[in-house]
A and B are shown apart, each in its own frame.
Chain A
């Protein structure tokens, strides 16, 4: 229960910051100023937006399928929020440390699609319906390259446990039960003879431990943009065509929940990208002979220093990825539906399939 509340608070905080950052970053990239009036530099803008939404009337259209309409936002948010249960925030802090975390996450996020379809269908509105159909088509398609990219990580790490995958990517490798005698080699190639187990830092991140995961990271990142309905894959809520997509008919608290779910999804996919590819809560600074940067910036497991450093690195890396998502939104134009499907099925999926094959060969030969 405590984990639930803490995660919810943390998530609300991150989403508030993210909504503000989105407006400011968008403004700066378009040579505007963004919010300036509410609080210093407009920093209270998103808090006030939420307060405004909570005061608004909760309108349920007369022709809507009321049960589905009312349930959908809760289901969507619950599906996304449940994904946070298996996210390791620090070396010893994880809401639910289950051994099949990756599998659970992929499964629970898929529930999102059901909620979207309920919202679109229940609204009894053609724009909502079109948006929901596009959304479902897009998310179901892009789960395949994303899943394959994650699969290649799982094959190389030989684990479905997010915490074990995290431990493998840093100087704490041998502290995880069952990994006491493991070693990390530079680029994962034992023949080079450079043992990076105690160097840690960026050299043991998955994209360096197995360089072919760099390609998997790019594929996963593109697919995750599509899964969270972000530009340039935002055809489900293309403002110029569909008004707002599946949430056209929502107002007040229910709209706030949908909004929260959407931003939570962005945070979640970025967290997963960081954990699987960019070293999770591990520091990016390596140990260099006597300068033990990695040890200094890791802290001690089980103590406050370990918790602070771990969450600091995890969240800062996540925010870098979130910034990249925002920048991409304001850089690239929206893809057409056929271009979207072409990219997914004819480009990303074959490459990801090849990666899975390569990851298997890599696992057999290199370790």
Chain B
């Protein structure tokens, strides 16, 4: 009995003596991840963090300059957390970085991270790879409204302007069409 009592004390003493060692914050991919039997296991989180795997699925990010507003992501989303409104561009608005022609503005491109289930389907369907998952996972908010991320690059005034431009262009086109129709009838 004395032996078991002493071996118990020896065990706690050994842990106490090893308290100057710390577990290194190595990622799970590392070979040493499961081979650190000694030292304190606590990770002082805000000051240090275990790196996340490269294929980890965390917060979404949309690079709006590369977005062609095709709406595929919003359609495949199983929880409907992506809201997109589109406005046709009246003039040439350039290309994405992979050479696809952009034809639409996005006055609204919202992702509700509180609804997001982090499945990653939207990133796989994205034709221009502008919608990606970043390694950021610590983005809690006090107000749930702040969980809705707005990715549009247009201010509301600019969006209104684009809408008016489009309406004007459509009006002109309709007028031109009507004029052409009237001209044909007169012949």
Contacts and interface: CB of A to CB of B under 8 A. Distances in A.
Do these two chains interact? yes
A33 interface: yes
A29 B12 contact: yes
B40 A31 contact: yes
Interface size class of B (residues with CB under 8 A): 10 to 19
B42 A330 contact: no
Contact of B40 (A32, A327, A331): A32
Contacts of B18: 31
Interface in B1-57: 5, 8-9, 11-13, 15-16, 18-19, 39-42, 44
Contact of A327 (B13, B39, B41, B42): B13
Say whether chain A's binding surface is mostly helix, strand, loop, or mixed. loop
A28 B9 CA distance: 14
B108 to A, nearest CB: 43
B12 to A, nearest CB: 5
A2 to B, nearest CB: 39
A153 B42 CA distance: 46
Contacts of A332: 5, 8
Tell me what chain B mostly uses at the interface: helix, strand, loop, or mixed.
helix
Looking at A29, A32, A36, the one whose CB has the most chain B CB atoms below 10 A away is: A29
Nearest to B19: A28
Given A28-B15, A31-B15, A31-B39, A331 B8 contact: yes
Interface in A3-59: 25, 27-33, 36
A367 interface: no
Contacts of A330: 12
A320 interface: no
Contacts of A31: 15, 18-19, 39-42
A25 B16 CA distance: 7
A328 interface: yes
Contact of B16 (A29, A33, A36, A328): A29
Contact of B44 (A30, A36, A327): A36
Interface of B: 5, 8-9, 11-13, 15-16, 18-19, 39-42, 44
7 contacts: A27-B40, A28-B15, A29-B16, A31-B42, A33-B44, A331-B9, A331-B11
